[in-house]
Structure formats: C-alpha cells, structure tokens
Amino acid sequence: MRININSFRTDGETNFELNWVRAIGEETDIPVATPQVSKSGNMVESKAVPWREEQLKCVLYSWLEGRGYPYRNSEKTAKHLGEVTTKLNQHGEQFQSPFRKKLTLFPDCIFGHPLDFRDAEKEGDMAPVRELISRANDVIARLKKTPAIPIHYDLHAGNIKIKNGKAVLLDFDDCILGWPMLDASVSRFYFRHMKPAAVDAYFRGLGWTPPDLGFTWEDFNTLQASRGIFLANEFLKMETAELMDMAKPYAIATIKRSEKFLRTGEWDYALR
C-alpha cells in the first residue's frame, strides 16, 4: 500500500498512473506491479486525517518479488536498463487514456515550484544555483518543441528490482508528460557510479544519444545536474522525518555542487 504523504498528485494524475501501469503489465514484457481494486470498486481511496486539510490518497499494488537493483551497474545491467527505459517510452508514446489530459506537462527543472533553500542560503552563494536552473530551463524549452509522452521520471535503484535477469519496475507515482532525454537524465543522476563502459552500454540499450536527438552532451549533463537542485528544493517541503533531517545539509551541498558544475561540467557528489 502506498499512502501519498509527500505526493502532490491530483486524482486524474493518479488514475492515469494506475491505468498506465495496468496496461504496461498487459501489453508489454516489462514486469510491473498490478494495481488492486478496493471493495468499493476504486483503484484510489482517500482518507481524511486530522493533521492536514487535504485527504490522503492510498493505492494498493500487488507485491513484486525480486532482489535489489545495483547502483553500480555492470555493462549487462546498464544495457538492459536502457532497453527497458526505451520500451517504456515507446509504450507511453502510444498509450491512450481518458486521464492523459490530466497528466502534468513537465514545466521546468524545479517543477514550477519557487526556489527556496531557506536557511541554507546563508551558507553560500545562490547565484550558481540560479544560473544552473536557467541553463537547464533553456534545454527544457527546446525539449518542449518536441512531442511530450508519459515517462516514469524516477527510475533509480530503489524503484527497480531484478527477477530472472529482468528489471522489474515500480513506483510510477512521479510519472509525467516529458521526454525520453529527461527520463534518461534522471536515471543517470542516480546511477552516477557507472563506469564509462557501462555508460556506453546504457546508451546502446536506449538506442540513442543526445546528439541523435538534436542536443549536446552538455545539454544532457545540465539536465542531469538540475535533478540535484530539484531534490534539494523538494526535500524542504517533505513531511517524512528522514527527508526533513537531510534537507538543509543536502541544500548546502547542492549550492557547492552547482558552483563546481558551472566551473568544470562535473556534478561532484562527494562535496558536502
């Protein structure tokens, strides 16, 4: 059961997610969890709670067996991840649903939210953060000239398992209307420990590179780095204790990483 405590999803977006996941399970060979229907016949149930104005939405999925997906991908697992991502993008491109028009079109690299690092802004210069946001949004503006499709938008190791040699996908709660390059940039942000051979294998699995899509590797790396700013901005809004505890240190590190990225083109995860 998933209780959407930190989710800003509308009912329409959640219903699209559930219908898309069900269709993926029925129409592709990508293993996914199966959305379950409640006794009242709904796939989404809402419950009022005393500590917030909005009702909490709950969804129930079947359990997925499998072992954890490695962050340090081998060439084999990296290539397979690329292949599965492209299969998912291709299915999203052709999938039709009455809820598709309810799905959010990716607005900008911090998802249309105000930039607010709160007390962390006292610890460093925010100018590099704003400059990186500007550069990432320039890339997104060019992406918006191409057709948007439903994408997972959160394919990291915590949302993937391995069973019988296949990637098993879960947690489509962040799915949006976006672009394959955005989907891949998010995965590369998380799978940052890939060796060069595994990175090459990943893009072979995808079947494209940024230049094939009319973009540069700098464009791709800028999108990838902007994911760090997005997370730093979001953590400060979360209601989960673990994320609340890490919010300020992560924001401070993000200020340092943004400055170094503008100098070197490297998003240095080691900076604290």
Are residues 6 and 238 in contact, defined by beta-carbon separation less than 8 angstroms? Answer: yes
Look at residues 241, 270, 240 and name the one whose alpha carbon lies nearest to residue 256: 270
Quote the pLDDT of residue 27.
97
Q: If residue 178 lies in a helix (H) or strand (E), which one and from where to where? A: strand 176-178
* Fold (CATH) for 70-264: Aminoglycoside 3'-phosphotransferase; Chain: A, domain 2 (3.90.1200)
Are residues 88 and 154 in contact, defined by beta-carbon separation less than 8 angstroms? Answer: no
Quote the pLDDT of residue 188.
96
Are residues 251 and 129 in contact, defined by beta-carbon separation less than 8 angstroms? Answer: no
How far from the centroid of its chain's Cα atoms is residue 228's Cα?
Answer: 11
Residues composing the chain: 272
Quote the pLDDT of residue 8.
72
The per-residue pLDDT string of the chain (272 residues; one tens digit each, 9 = 90 and over) reads 888 777 777 888 999 999 999 999 999 999 999 999 988 888 888 888 887 777 888 899 999 889 999 888 899 999 999 999 999 999 999 999 999 998 999 999 999 999 999 888 888 899 999 999 999 999 999 999 999 999 999 999 999 999 888 899 999 999 999 999 999 999 999 998 899 999 999 999 999 999 999 999 999 999 999 999 999 999 877 767 776 778 899 999 999 999 999 999 999 988 88
Quote the pLDDT of residue 172.
95
Tokens of 13: 């977006």
Quote the pLDDT of residue 226.
98
Quote the pLDDT of residue 204.
98
207: left (phi over 0), alpha (psi -120 to 50) or beta: left
As a whole number of angstroms, the distance between CA 230 and CA 178 comes to: 15
Quote the pLDDT of residue 237.
73
